[in-house]
Amino acid sequence: MIKGVNRQVVEITQTQCEYFEKVLFFIKPEYSAVSEGDLKERATIIAQSAGMPPAARLKKNRLRLALSMGAAACAGAAVSGTVFLVASFI
């Protein structure tokens, strides 16, 4: 979130991509003198080329999530078992 910053922004609402409704481009200060038409044209080209992330990246994220959940379950079981053993000796 940007607060209290005066920046030039180009908003593209027709992305022609089913995944994105709207794209915002923040213009670098050194390019603020470029015409609005040129900026919108360039932004539209970039927005139209956007697509779904590669499948390999999605699979990697799922694998990472599954491994994290499994590790958390094992750690929880280990802590519970330790507490149970300590409590049974008391």
41-85 pLDDT tens trace: 888 888 777 766 566 665 677 788 888 999 999 999 999 989 888
Q: Extract the tokens encoding 9.
A: 């922004």
CA distance 20 to 45: 14
Domain limits of the chain?
A: 9-48, 54-90
pLDDT above 90: percentage of residues in the chain: 14
Q: Which residue has the tokens 């919108």?
A: 40
